[in-house]
A and B are shown apart, each in its own frame.
Chain A
Amino acid sequence: MKYETIMGLEVHVELATKSKLFCACSTEFGSDVNENVCPVCAGMPGTSPMVNRKAIELAITAGLLTNSEISPRITFDKKNYFYPDLPAGYQLTQLFAPICKNGWVEIETDAGKKKINLVQIHLEEDAGKLIHDDWMDTTLIDFNRASVPLIEIVTRPDFRSAEEVVAFLEKLRSLLSFADVSDCKMQEGSMRCDINLSVREKGSDKLGTRTEIKNMNSLKAIAAAISYESQRHIDALETGEEVLVQETRRWDDSIGATFSMRGKEDATDYRYCPDPDIMPVFIDDEWIDAVRSNLPETAQDKFIRLTQKLGLPEYDSEIITRSKNLSTIFDETLQYYNNPKEVANWIIVELLSIAKGDNKGEDDVRIDCQKFAKLIELVDGRTINRNVGKKILSLILEEGIDPVEYVEKNKLGMINDTSLISSTIQEVLSENPKALEEYKAGSKKVHGFFVGQIMRKLGGKANPQIINKLLTEALKEI
Chain B
Amino acid sequence: MPNIEDYEAMTKISLSEDEKTIVSGYMNMLLDSFKKLEDTDVSGVVPLISVLDVKSPMRDDVAIKTISREELLSNAPEQHDGYFQVPRTVD
Contacts and interface: CB of A to CB of B under 8 A. Distances in A.
- The reply, when asked whether chain A contacts chain B directly with Cβ atoms under 8 A, is yes
Interface of A: 17-19, 23-28, 32-39, 42, 50-56, 75, 82-84, 130-134, 137-143, 250, 261, 269, 271, 274, 276, 278-282
Interface of B is mostly: loop
B55 A56 contact: no
Interface stretch (B21-29, B36-44, B76-84): B76-84
Interface string B67-91: 1010011000000111111111101
A38 B66 contact: yes
A476 B18 CA distance: 110
Measured as residues with beta carbon below 8 angstroms from the partner, the interface class of chain B is 20 to 34
B66 A24 contact: yes
B84 A279 contact: no
B67 to A, nearest CB: 6
A23 to B, nearest CB: 8
B30 interface: no
A53 B88 CA distance: 37
Interface of B: 10, 12, 49-50, 52, 54-67, 69, 72-73, 80-89, 91
Contacts, number: 122
Given A25-B66, A26-B65, A250-B91, A141 B58 contact: no
A472 B64 CA distance: 68
Given A132-B88, A140-B81, 5 more contacts: A23-B66, A25-B65, A143-B84, A279-B55, A281-B58
Contacts of A24: 59, 62-64, 66
Nearest to A270: B10
B37 to A, nearest CB: 17
Given A276-B49, A279-B52, A138 B88 contact: yes
8 contacts: A25-B64, A33-B81, A34-B72, A36-B63, A83-B89, A138-B88, A141-B83, A141-B86
- Sort A-B residue pairs by CB-CB distance and give the 10 closest, nearest first: A54-B61, A140-B83, A26-B63, A38-B66, A53-B58, A279-B56, A24-B64, A141-B84, A139-B89, A33-B82
Given A52-B59, A138-B80, A38 B67 contact: yes
A177 B66 CA distance: 30
Nearest to A132: B88
A50 B82 contact: no
Given A25-B65, A51-B56, A52-B61, A32 B82 contact: yes
Contacts of B65: 25-26, 36, 38
A84 B49 CA distance: 29
B83 A34 contact: yes
Contacts of B10: 269, 271
Contact of B69 (A18, A35, A82, A274): A35
Contacts of A53: 58-61
A206 to B, nearest CB: 32
A81 B86 CA distance: 17
Nearest to A140: B83
Contacts of B86: 84, 138-139, 141
Nearest to B78: A138
A32 B57 CA distance: 31
A139 B55 contact: no
Given A25-B65, A279-B54, A139 B59 contact: no
A453 B62 CA distance: 59
A294 to B, nearest CB: 15
A141 B55 contact: no
